Structure 1
Amino acid sequence: MHEPSRCRIRLVAFDVDGVILPIRSSWGYIHERAGTTRESELNYRLFMEGKIGYWEWMFLDTLAWIEAMPGITRWDLEELFSSVPINRDAYEAVRILREAGIESALVSGGVDVVVSRVARELGIKYWVSPALAFDPWGRLVPGGEPRLEADRKDRAVLSLARKLGYSMREVAFVGDSRWDLRGMREACLAIAVNPHDNHVVEEADYVAEDLLDAAYFILEHSYTWKRNG
């Protein structure tokens, strides 16, 4: 737990899967559509047991998609995600934060194809996620670039804050799962939305009903540090 009275929020880092999107995992969503859930479960177990690294996990997952859907392209993936709506309250939450002078960013372990779309539709300039790899014809190739490792969101938050010139006392993190814990611990305010992990609930400064509730909580504490300083 943090001390909200010591925070003056200027930047909010949002997780995407399960927070801004209704699906818990964009990787899992592709596996479900491709019929490769069994491969997904095996790859997850190998990673969690420390037998493979994050890049190898990306490689095996994307290889499974290619084998199940030969010739799949970036545009196929964009079409696949086109039916996944952005949670309606996300638009309003980002808008009211922006009007208060608070920057929003996306820090996601999700598929960059959908994370980039979320950023574009919400008008969010800064985002980071693992990047899939495509050949010159737009066809998916195995592997990718782990610009963000799902369990190390703290590094992404620190890097983003440094880039924008903010201290971590000016950063809030909004997440829902165990993959968000390190990012939540690093930020000055940690808010859980739709949490599905007891550890997230225990470590959050606030468990919000939805993104709008989370935004209002952030606004409530954004200038406390200034008033008390």
Structure 2
Amino acid sequence: MPKIKLVVFDLDGTLVKEKSSWRKVHEFFGTEEKGDEGLKLYVDGKISYEQFVAHDLSLWPRGISKSVFNYIFNKIPLNEGVREVVTEIKKRGKLVAIVSSGISLLAEKISNELNIDFFVANEILFDERGRSTGVGAAIVELNKKDKALLKILNKVSIKPMEVLGVGDSKFDLSFLKVCGYSVLLRTKDSKIGDEKYEVNFVIDSLHELIKVIDIIEEDA
């Protein structure tokens, strides 16, 4: 069994307590109901992911300063143990990445805060004054995170079998299946059972992740 070179985390619900950065913005603007309608249309296959992103952005006022979005995301706390776990992983010489179908402003904030090596997420586009244009870039599709992960692996020349993936929901399955080792973080808000997932490990706290890495590398 190869050693782990890269640990890839989902963001919403895994590294941070908020389950959806999109919904957090909807809550701020009071557009939760219409946001939920758009998500259901996507999940039911009635609209594309690009249409879903465009739908969400159309619900928010245009011309909003980037600082407003940063204000919203600054209120989102890390999950318990995240800082210590990421620090230990980095100390062991491994790369750390985020693959998120959430909003890149939050992914960038957390990456800077935790010294994470790479992140990929969906973008809100701003003009030269730093105000939202009402347009976005759908980079990481909710049900196809594997494609985003494979692009990262190609850039850093790491094989899937050398990757440990960590997620908390059914929407992480696509990228977890690509990883040599997969971990499901089961939280009180997960609303799923590990029996529905073909994963290598199920943990109830990120504090357990270092032990998982130890177990894997003892056999390597």
- TM-score, L = length of structure 2: 0.92
Question: Shift of residue 192 of structure 1?
Answer: 1.0
Q: Alignment partner of 1:50: what SS?
A: coil
The aligned amino acid for 2:19 is R
Question: Shift of residue 201 of structure 1?
Answer: 5.6
Of residues 118-127 and 77-86 in structure 1, the stretch that sits farther from structure 2 once superposed is 77-86
The aligned residue for residue 47 of structure 2 is 52
Question: Shift of residue 223 of structure 1?
Answer: 5.2
The aligned residue for residue 182 of structure 1 is 174
Query: Which of residues 84, 90, 97 in structure 2 aligns to 1:98?
Result: 90
Q: Alignment partner of 1:110: what SS?
A: strand
Question: Shift of residue 7 of structure 1?
Answer: 4.0
Q: Does 1:196 align with 2:191?
A: yes
Give the distance between the partners of 1:29 and 1:74, measured in 2 at CA.
15
Q: Alignment partner of 2:64: what SS?
A: coil
Q: Map of 1:152-171 to 2, 5 A cutoff?
A: 152-171=144-163
Question: Shift of residue 88 of structure 1?
Answer: 4.2
Q: 1:56 to 1:200 in 2, by over 3 A?
A: farther
The aligned amino acid for 1:206 is F
RCO higher in 1 or 2 (8 Å CA, sep ≥ 6)? 1
The aligned residue for residue 122 of structure 1 is 114
Q: 1:50 to 1:201 in 2, by over 3 A?
A: closer
Q: Alignment partner of 1:217: what SS?
A: helix
Q: 1:18 to 1:200 in 2, by over 3 A?
A: farther
Q: 1:86 to 1:200 in 2, by over 3 A?
A: farther
Q: 1:217 to 1:88 in 2, by over 3 A?
A: same
Give the distance between the partners of 1:116 and 1:200, measured in 2 at CA.
33
Query: Which of residues 214, 217, 222 in structure 1 aligns to 2:217?
Result: 222
- Root mean square deviation of aligned Cα: 1.6
Query: Which of residues 7, 20, 36 in structure 1 aligns to 2:31?
Result: 36
Once the two structures are aligned, what percentage of the paired residues are identical?
28
Displaced runs of 4 or more, over 6 A:
none
Indicate if the aligned counterparts of 1:97 and 1:219 stay in contact, CA closer than 8 A: no
Give the distance between the partners of 1:65 and 1:203, measured in 2 at CA.
38
Could you list the runs of 5+ residues in structure 2 that have no partner in the other structure?
A: none
CA offsets 1:100-137 (integer angstroms, 9 cap, x no match): 12111001111111110000000012110011111222
Indicate if the aligned counterparts of 1:12 and 1:172 stay in contact, CA closer than 8 A: yes
Could you list the runs of 5+ residues in structure 1 that have no partner in the other structure?
A: 1-5
The aligned residue for residue 3 of structure 1 is none
Q: Does 1:24 align with 2:16?
A: no
Query: Which of residues 121, 130, 134 in structure 1 aligns to 2:126?
Result: 134
- TM-score, L = length of structure 1: 0.89
Q: 1:106 to 1:220 in 2, by over 3 A?
A: same
Q: Does 1:147 align with 2:125?
A: no
